[in-house]
């Protein structure tokens, strides 16, 4: 049991690396994608809408296989870790762009009008007035997305990233005398423990945002 636990824990850094990298890509790339979704030009809006819907409509595992097996630069293929980070980062960008968009959507039009009345430029209004407010509204959704990304990072194991699930799987196959459920149960417990700080943070945010209303 202790042996299984140590093996599973060896995969924890990889789980965290995949999650954190994909999350960072999503947080950064989600912003320009959100701008595309809110563009003034209908064709741009439509193009981004279709792209975001397709990225979200294809299961992450298909993205990972497509990127890992399908994308080549000359004779060089991406390694599994890079492919997993790129794939999950792509999916995260689409989901986070949608979350950001929702945040701007609910801002009262009065904010925009008041800024215009005060003679504040469009760019300044967007960056200094609208964005901070939108960000505060969507912060709980972002932390919730992070919680689901921690779990989705397990999909990286399907293309051979040595995360907790892959090591649990190996351990289960190599030790058939032990009940097969044990290493996965241990992995599940570690996922729980990793999620607790994020969940507590989300709960605190929730009560804060509620209080501000």
Stretch that binds another protein, among 16-24, 111-119, 137-145, 166-174 (CB under 8 A): 166-174
In the list 85, 90, 165, 167, the residue contacting another protein (rule: CB under 8 A) is: 165
The CA angle 29-34-36, to the nearest 5 degrees, is 105
Closest to another protein by CB, 97 vs 165, is 165
Give the single-character DSSP code of 159: G
Closest to another protein by CB, 85 vs 98, is 98
Q: E-assigned strands of 49-154?
A: 72-73, 76-77
Q: Which of 92, 71, 80, 73 is nearest to 19 (CA)?
A: 92
In the list 36, 102, 160, 180, the residue contacting another protein (rule: CB under 8 A) is: 180
In the list 179, 203, 204, 208, the residue contacting another protein (rule: CB under 8 A) is: 179
Nearest approach, Cβ of residue 49 and another protein (Å): 10
* Residue 138 CA from chain centroid, whole number: 14
In the list 39, 184, 201, 205, the residue contacting another protein (rule: CB under 8 A) is: 184
Stretch that binds another protein, among 16-24, 101-109, 122-130, 183-191 (CB under 8 A): 183-191
Is residue 151 a contact point for another protein (CB under 8 A)? yes
213, with CB counted inside 10 A (0-12, 13-18, 19+), is: exposed
Q: Which of residues 23-82 bind another protein (CB under 8 A)?
A: 53-54, 56-63, 65-66, 69-71
d(CA 143, CA 172) in angstroms, rounded, equals 32
36, with CB counted inside 10 A (0-12, 13-18, 19+), is: middle
* HSE-up (13 A, CA, CB side) for residue 151: 12
In the beta sheet, which residues pair with residue 72?
Answer: 77
In the list 12, 188, 205, 209, the residue contacting another protein (rule: CB under 8 A) is: 188
Residues lying near another protein in the complex (CB under 8 A) are found at 53-54, 56-63, 65-66, 69-71, 151-152, 154-155, 157-158, 165, 168-169, 172, 179-181, 184-185, 187-188, 191-192, 195
């Amino acid at each position: 049991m202790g042996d299984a636990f140590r093996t599973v824990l060896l995969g924890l850094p990889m789980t965290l690396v995949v999650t954190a990298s994909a999350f960072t890509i999503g947080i950064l790339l989600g912003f320009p994608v959100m701008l595309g979704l809110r563009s003034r030009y209908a064709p741009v809006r439509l193009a981004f809408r279709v792209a975001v819907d397709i990225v979200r409509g294809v299961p992450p595992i298909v993205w990972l296989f497509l990127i890992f097996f399908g994308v080549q630069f000359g004779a060089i293929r991406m390694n599994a870790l890079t492919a997993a980070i790129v794939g999950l980062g792509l999916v995260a960008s689409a989901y986070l762009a949608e979350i950001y968009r929702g945040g701007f959507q609910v801002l009262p039009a009065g904010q925009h009008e008041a800024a215009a009345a005060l003679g504040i430029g469009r760019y300044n209004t967007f960056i200094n007035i609208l964005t901070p407010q939108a960000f505060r509204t969507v912060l709980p959704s972002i932390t919730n997305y992070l919680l689901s990304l921690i779990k989705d990072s397990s999909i990286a194991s399907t293309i051979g990233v040595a995360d907790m699930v892959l090591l649990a799987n190996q351990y289960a196959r190599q030790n058939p005398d032990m009940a097969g459920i044990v290493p996965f149960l241990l992995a599940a417990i570690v996922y729980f423990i990793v999620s607790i700080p994020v969940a507590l943070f989300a709960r605190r945010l929730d009560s804060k945002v509620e209080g501000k209303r």
